[in-house]
C-alpha cells in the first residue's frame, strides 16, 4: 500500500497535470490519495483519463488551463469543501458536468449539490458500474455544453463586428420602433437607419431585428451602447 504522501503520488499528479490534452479526461478532486489512485486505474480501464487533484485550491489554480470535462468532487475536503467548490464554479460560469462523492449520507448536501447542477450524488463506497453510468450521462451533457459554448463564442464574434452606430440602431429598433420612428428619435435620416440596420443584420448573418434579440439571448449578450 502506498503512503498518502509518497513520491509516486506526487509525481503522478505532476505528470498528469502537465500532460497535453487527451480524449475523455475526468477531473478527480478528493483529498484521499488512495481513492485517487483507485479511480485513476478504474477510469483508465473504461477509456477515460483521470486528472487527480488533492484539493479544491489545486483545481482552481489550474482551471484556466483545463478543457471542459466531467468533474468528480468529494463533499468533505479541507479548506474548500465540495459544495463550496461547486458554488464557486457556478459563479464563474463553469457548467461542466459534476458528480458528487461522499462517505456520509448527507441529504442536505445532496439537495444542495443537485441545485448547483450535480448530475449525480454517489455515496462511498460505490461500485464502478454506477459511476460509469453517471460518467456516460456526464459525457452526453458535456457534448451539449460544448455545443452551447461554441454557439456563444461564434455569436460574440459576430456581435464584435458591429460598429457603435450599428449597435445603437439595433437597440432602438429592438424596442419595436419603425425605421422612420427610429430615425426621428436618433436625429438621423431614414435612409441612414436603413443602411445601418442592413449592415448590422448582414454581419450577424440574420434577416430580421426580431432575430437579434434571440441571438443575443442565446449568447448571453446584453446589448448596450458602445463608445
Query: In angstroms, how far is CA 214 from the centroid of its own chain?
Result: 21
Cβ atoms of 105 and 123 closer than 8 Å: yes
Provide the CATH number for the domain formed by 161-219 in this structure.
Answer: 1.10.10.10
Domain extent listing, the chain: 7-151, 161-219
Please state which CATH class domain 7-151 belongs to. alpha beta
Closest Cα partner for 115 from 93, 94, 143, 86? 86
pLDDT in tens, 131-141: 999 999 999 99
For the whole prediction, is pTM greater than 0.85?
Answer: no
Answer whether residue 97 shows pLDDT above 80.
Answer: yes
Cβ atoms of 59 and 27 closer than 8 Å: yes
Answer whether residue 10 shows pLDDT above 60.
Answer: no
pLDDT in tens, 154-180: 888 999 999 999 999 999 998 889 999
CA dihedral 49, 55, 56, 61 (to 10 degrees): -80
Answer whether residue 109 shows pLDDT above 90.
Answer: no
DSSP-derived secondary structure letter, 54: S
Percent of the chain with pLDDT over 90: 51
More confident residue, 32 or 224: 32
Amino acid at each position: 500500500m502506498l503512503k498518502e504522501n509518497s513520491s509516486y503520488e506526487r509525481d503522478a499528479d505532476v505528470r498528469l497535470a502537465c500532460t497535453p490534452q487527451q480524449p475523455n479526461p475526468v477531473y478527480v478532486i478528493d483529498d484521499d490519495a488512495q481513492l485517487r489512485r483507485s479511480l485513476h486505474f478504474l477510469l483508465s480501464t473504461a477509456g477515460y483519463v483521470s486528472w487527480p487533484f488533492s484539493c479544491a485550491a489545486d483545481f482552481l489554480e489550474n482551471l484556466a488551463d483545463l478543457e471542459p470535462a466531467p468533474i468528480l468532487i468529494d463533499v468533505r475536503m479541507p479548506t474548500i469543501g465540495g459544495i463550496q467548490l461547486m458554488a464557486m464554479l457556478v459563479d464563474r460560469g463553469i457548467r461542466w458536468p459534476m458528480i458528487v462523492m461522499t462517505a456520509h449520507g448527507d441529504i442536505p448536501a445532496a439537495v444542495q449539490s443537485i441545485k448547483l447542477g450535480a448530475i449525480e450524488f454517489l455515496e462511498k463506497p460505490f461500485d464502478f458500474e454506477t459511476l460509469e453510468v453517471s460518467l456516460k450521462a456526464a459525457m452526453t451533457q458535456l457534448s451539449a455544453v460544448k455545443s452551447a459554448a461554441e454557439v456563444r463564442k461564434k455569436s460574440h464574434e459576430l456581435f464584435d463586428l458591429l460598429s457603435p452606430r450599428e449597435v445603437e440602431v439595433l437597440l432602438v429598433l429592438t424596442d419595436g420602433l419603425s425605421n422612420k420612428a427610429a430615425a426621428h428619435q436618433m436625429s438621423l435620416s431614414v435612409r441612414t437607419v436603413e443602411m445601418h440596420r442592413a449592415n448590422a443584420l448582414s454581419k450577424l448573418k440574420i434577416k430580421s431585428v426580431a432575430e437579434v434579440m434571440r441571438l443575443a439571448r442565446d449568447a448571453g449578450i446584453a446589448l448596450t451602447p458602445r463608445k
